[in-house]
Amino acid sequence: MTSLEFRDRVARRARRAKAPLTIAMLDPLEAYFRLLTLWNAKINLTALPLDPPTDETFDRLLVEPLAAAAHLTRGLKPGSDPCLWFDLGSGGGSPAIPLLIARPSMKLTMIESKERKSAFLREALRCAGLAHTASVLTERFEVVAGIADHAHSADIVTVRAVKTDGQLFETAAQLLKADGRLFLFRPAHDAGPDPAGFGRESTVRLIESPATFLSSYRRVFHVEQSR
């Protein structure tokens, strides 16, 4: 696949999803995608086909994060301090790296417990020109949340392809500031009750087929904590 073919497919899929895409995003998106293709032949970073990629590959790895970018920064004051953001279980780098390409002013920390995947993430940040605004921690995210420097420091936490159980929400609550937001990328709309410590703000569809969703939760205090 040539660079022209890559760019044409990304642009077509982004238009289909109404996902914002600028010319400045194309070089880093391609650098990330090509490195992912190279490394995936050696370590398991994604189960999606990369050589050749399908439309679903483009949608899930690149377009879905671009479609989510506007929702992450909604409500943030222009000119305020950089938004501090943790991505839990970053794996192959999506959605975090494409999101950062779309929102390079944010300060991202990717948390990945596996050494080889962490090595890939650092190289991907370097190749995409993002090493100055992002870092990688090789650790379990539950451990990171318990470190004093990270506790209650984040404006945003993002999660995809991680089990959404009580432990996940507890970890997110430990990382987030009061009123911080948790974003869950989901393959289906979950109409269940809000998890403890969070109030749901919205659920939006990112990709039409196969459908994917982004749920936003605001961190709130329990009544007994606010007395």
pLDDT digits (tens, 9 = 90+) for 197-221: 899 999 999 998 889 999 999 998 6
What confidence category does residue 39 fall into, taking pLDDT thresholds of 50, 70 and 90?
Answer: very high
Using a CB cutoff of 8 Å and minimum separation of 24, what contacts does 55-61 make?
A: 55/9, 55/13, 56/210, 58/9, 58/10, 58/13, 59/13, 59/17, 59/207, 59/212, 60/94, 60/207, 60/212, 61/33, 61/36, 61/92, 61/94, 61/98
Q: Is the pLDDT of residue 108 over 60?
A: yes
Task: Give residue 75's pLDDT.
Answer: 62
Which has the higher per-residue pLDDT, 49 or 190? 49
Please tell me the pTM assigned to this model.
0.91
Give mean pLDDT, residues 3-14. Answer: 96
CATH number where 96 lies: 3.40.50.150
Q: Which domain range does residue 13 map to?
A: 3-226
pLDDT tens figures, 132-180: 999 999 999 999 999 999 999 999 999 997 777 888 899 999 999 988 9
Contact criterion met (CB below 8 Å) for 48 and 54: yes
Q: 3-17 and 64-73 are packed helices; what angle lies between their axes, rounded to 10 degrees?
A: 50
Backbone angles phi, psi at 64, to 5 degrees: -55, -45
Average pLDDT over the chain, rounded to whole?
Answer: 90
Q: Is the pLDDT of residue 225 over 50?
A: no
Specify the number of domains making up the chain.
1
Say if residue 178 is exposed, middle or buried (CB neighbours under 10 Å; 0-12, 13-18, 19+).
Answer: exposed
pLDDT tens figures, 59-90: 999 999 999 998 987 766 555 567 999 999 99
Buried b (16+ CB within 10 A) or exposed e, 24-35: ebbebbbbbbeb
Task: Give residue 154's pLDDT.
Answer: 94
Task: Give residue 224's pLDDT.
Answer: 42
Q: 3-17 and 23-40 are packed helices; what angle lies between their axes, rounded to 10 degrees?
A: 110
- Which tokens sit at 54? 């399908």
DSSP 165: S
> What is the bridge-based pairing of β-strands 107-111 and 84-88?
parallel
